[in-house]
A and B are shown apart, each in its own frame.
Chain A
Amino acid sequence: MTRTSHLKMTSADYEPATLPDLLPLYYRRLFPFSQYYRWLNYGGVQKNYFQHREFSFTLKDDIYVRYQSFNTQNELEKEMQKMNPYKIDIGAVYSHRPNQHNTVKSGTFQALEKELVFDIDMTDYDDVRSCCSAADICPKCWTLMTIAIRILDRALREDFGFRHLLWVYSGRRGVHCWVCDEAARKLSVAARSAVAEYLSLVKGGDETVRKVVLSDPIHPSIRDALKVVEHYFPQYALQDQAVLGLKESVDKVLALVPEDVKKDLHTYFESEKNPEKRWGRLRAYAKTKQATVKKGQHFEKEIMLQYCYPRLDVNVSKGVNHLLKSPFSVHPKTGRISVPIDLKQLDKFDPFDVPTISLICAELDRPRVGEEEEQVDSKEKDSDIDAAERRRIRDYKRTSLAKYVKILDQFLDGVAQSNKGELLKKSDLQKDF
């Protein structure tokens, strides 16, 4: 057995029952507290930003506690090491310390700011994926997440001008996006809902057959999304999902096509079995229709979008006080760590390769491979880190978690750069009379 497959076997050996034993180890030696604090403190630009942040913990036996808040990174650490939460959620930054919310005059305790977040869940695509359903995922349907990330990332950056996006694997069947720009954190409920609506194209539940309706003119952002979908469609839909293969799947596609075209396609499909050729014919019909009919008929685009366009839950994005699973939280059912995703390597991301808590704890016990030089990163000032922290830094670096913490580091560097720019601008203005 090779080393990698051995390791894969180890991670596949995650048992939820072992969680109570692994969590203390995780929080004591692996959880990247200093990066975590660095993130949520946002450079200390706004007073009490970290102190007024709500955290919620799910403890053993499903005990759920809200309105946790902490004054310092140390306090956060101590508490997490004491409670060993199964799940951690991050909430909003409030007007007062959340853990004192009961002492505040009723009505004055309010959620003020929070990152703009998106939650893409694979179960929302159950009607268009044939390989899995419910909580299951596989490499064949994971492409949907890749497509979703590409489309949303472009739109959030290019259309809305956001720059600091942290994409995170949820640990089981989806991805989250944390938009951390200052402007994003300050958005109102109405604004968040408008952004989410702008990004939504697939509408309707079980009763709706045709979930995407395009009308002329086709908005530039939809055109951009189509470019992404078209890139992945042949492999993902025609091959992996075989949407034009089995009769059942074919019927579902044809339900989205105008009556007259449907008849012709049925006939054509009787003799032609190749999915690419079938799709080619469908597209040809669409092109003809568009040329002849006054009102554009975009059924081939609608089909592609219905099968591939990101499906997000508007309610998650709307609320300023909505609690969302924290990055580096553990997923109790799968054991996987909620890790950041490197968009530069997006096509290579494999959710089954994401380390589990059992894997990284096992890696801690590995004998060291050679003497590791203690590299002091430029970000870490020796005087500010105590011995325990230093040890922890060395610890996670020895595990598969390392590369994911690095992604977070790079993300935070970007945020810091922006902050610096802002502070400079502010001080420049102040010098003016």
Chain B
Amino acid sequence: MQFTGRKRRLIGNPKTELYGHCLQFYGQPPLENISLTEFETFAVDRLKLLKTVENLGVSQVKGSELYKNKLDKEFSNLHFPYKAEVKEEDKVGPNEYEKRRKDHISHFILRLAYCQTEDLRRWFIQQEVDLFRYRFNYLTQAQKSSFLQHNNLHYETVGLEEKMALSDKLISSSYAVSGCKVENQDYYKVPFQDALDLVRNRKVYLKAGYVYIPHQDIVITVLNDFRTQLSKALALTARSLPTVLSDERLQPLLSHLSHAYVGQDYSIQKNMGKISLEQIDPLSGKSFPLCMRGLHQALRENHHLRHGGRMQYGLFLKGIGLTLEQALQFWRSEFTKSKVDTDKFDKQYAYSIRHNYGKEGKRTDYTPYSCMKVILSNAPSQGDHHGCPFRHSDAELLKQKLQSYKVSPSGIAQILDLVKGMHYQLACQKYFELTHNIEDSGFSLNHPNQYFLESQRVLGGGGKEAKAEPPQRAPDVAAKPPLDPPALAEMTEDLDAYFQDG
């Protein structure tokens, strides 16, 4: 046996040494060769995992039972490691080593895909941090200490004697730590240079240059470390990216991966022509989100909508499958019921409808507005009916509207609560759940057309494939160029099938 200064597991299977823990900081990139298939599969699986992390992060309370169950299932399905102890009997499919290897490699592949822009980096770091937190909290106290040691993080646990001696100091330095907690929970001694945020805000006991962090707070420090490291690593990765992208086998996959993040924009209308005009009225009550239902109602009542409303509703209708001819017929029939005659309609309004379908002007096929866009841009003023009712209507009016749509009083209360907390999309999701009579919508709402598709699915209207993949919180998706050239199709067929509705 050798005496070295480093803490390493000596003389073991090199395999176990490399992946000695189910969790890692991803400090070292993988050095082996892998096949293109593995490259692609690993990357896609991890992306699915991260998207689940994101969705659950938005719709559930992190760490709640429901959150845990869902995420655990995803881990199992995708063969990623999360539990530290592995029962050998449980070995169906890849073993623990293979899972950890996949975890390691997939992380580094996604770094390549997500290092390119600030937005991508931010998203990636956020999900990886949440993922790390989740897995870190799964470890036992002993495993946590071992993990920290293994990664050369000088987090020494404070001995019981010292803890008790410092007991009242420890209590009076951290919020929400009581006497019994001091005894029962672990405290870690960290050099103050490694816990600057806690020092700066005087949130922790400091003695002789060491910060005494209660266990509940150690995660914060570890996560900060992780986040900082990852952020730096991504910046470095971005610099070496041109070299990587010059490999033609990788370039298409990597750019498709990051494009997939930006998500579905509903410009591919697989349902084109499947909706008839007569269906719109009943559909508006059943499957339209509140904003579109309101717009439809206003159109029917006033036989008119202003520009903002025409854009928002018109593009939505295109998204659910209305053809250009149908759209022209639809709008003309309504508008001519008011003071607009057919000639005036053809002159003033038809042009812009055709424009929306990419048949005029620069021929951009406009995409329907996402929730983000509806909520954040172009707020409605007097006489407008567009926007997001959860965001733009005042509470009283919203309540009345929901009452008129026969939403239960308790449901209305829940919705109003979410609105107060500024969770507009969650409020709409709640509206979905209440109007469809289901407990859990099963998706994370980001787009009015997504609402429609999900509603149709629940009501048995179509969709035979895997569940529709919700697009992520993407920035403005209007005027997106059409998807990739045919060269990609072969390699990325699987991705497409996953990410789009059947």
Contacts and interface: CB of A to CB of B under 8 A. Distances in A.
4 closest residue pairs by CB, A with B: A161-B209, A161-B208, A194-B200, A194-B196
B468 interface: no
A85 B341 CA distance: 91
Interface string A218-257: 1111110000000000000000000000000000000000
Contacts of A323: none
A136 to B, nearest CB: 33
A282 to B, nearest CB: 24
B306 interface: no
A162 B3 CA distance: 33
A220 B172 contact: yes
B173 A219 contact: yes
A360 to B, nearest CB: 39
Interface stretch (A73-81, A185-193, A414-422): A185-193
Interface string A176-206: 0000000100011011011101100000000
B151 to A, nearest CB: 21
A218 B208 CA distance: 19
A217 B172 contact: yes
Interface residues of B, number: 21
A152 to B, nearest CB: 14
Contacts of A217: 171-175
Interface string A144-167: 000000000000001111100000
Contact of A220 (B169, B192, B208, B210): B169
Contacts, number: 55
B87 interface: no
B202 interface: yes
B115 interface: no
Interface string B1-38: 00100000000000000000000000000000000000
B201 to A, nearest CB: 7
Nearest to A429: B5
24 contacts: A158-B207, A159-B209, A160-B192, A161-B207, A161-B208, A161-B209, A161-B210, A191-B196, A193-B200, A194-B196, A195-B199, A198-B199, A198-B206, A217-B174, A219-B172, A219-B173, A219-B202, A219-B205, A220-B169, A220-B173, A220-B205, A221-B202, A222-B202, A433-B3
From A183, A193, A219, name the one whose CB has the most chain B CB atoms within 10 angstroms: A219
Contact of B200 (A188, A198, A433): A198
Contact of B193 (A158, A191, A198): A191
B415 to A, nearest CB: 33
A160 B209 contact: yes
Nearest to B202: A219
Contacts of A218: 172
Nearest to B197: A194
A198 B209 contact: no
A183 B209 contact: yes
From B169, B193, B205, B210, name the one whose CB has the most chain A CB atoms within 10 angstroms: B193
Contacts of B208: 158-161
Interface of A is mostly: helix
Contacts of A188: 193
B172 A223 contact: yes
A309 B124 CA distance: 45
Interface of A: 158-162, 183, 187-188, 190-191, 193-195, 197-198, 217-223, 433
Contacts of B192: 160, 191, 194
B300 to A, nearest CB: 55
A194 B199 contact: yes
From A159, A161, A433, name the one whose CB has the most chain B CB atoms within 10 angstroms: A159
Contacts of A158: 207-208
B220 to A, nearest CB: 15
Interface string B173-209: 1110000000000000000110011011110011111
Nearest to A197: B200
A35 B207 CA distance: 32
Nearest to B201: A197
A221 B212 CA distance: 14
Contacts of A162: 209
Nearest to B195: A194
Contacts of A183: 209
Contacts of B200: 193-194, 197-198
B334 to A, nearest CB: 58
A403 to B, nearest CB: 31
A220 B202 CA distance: 10
Interface string B360-403: 00000000000000000000000000000000000000000000
A258 B192 CA distance: 37
Interface string B262-303: 000000000000000000000000000000000000000000
A218 B169 CA distance: 10
B190 to A, nearest CB: 13
A220 B212 CA distance: 12
Given A191-B193, A222-B202, 18 more contacts: A158-B207, A159-B206, A159-B207, A159-B208, A160-B206, A160-B208, A160-B209, A161-B207, A161-B208, A187-B193, A188-B193, A190-B196, A195-B199, A197-B199, A217-B174, A217-B175, A219-B172, A221-B202
A16 to B, nearest CB: 42
From B169, B205, B206, name the one whose CB has the most chain A CB atoms within 10 angstroms: B206
A190 B200 CA distance: 10
A158 B205 CA distance: 11
A340 B200 CA distance: 29
Contacts of A433: 3
Nearest to A183: B209
Interface string B198-233: 011110011111100000000000000000000000
A340 to B, nearest CB: 24
Contacts of B169: 220
Contacts of A187: 193
A197 B203 CA distance: 12
A362 to B, nearest CB: 46
Contacts of B202: 198, 219, 221-222
B206 A221 contact: yes
Contacts of B199: 194-195, 197-198
Contacts of A160: 192, 206, 208-209
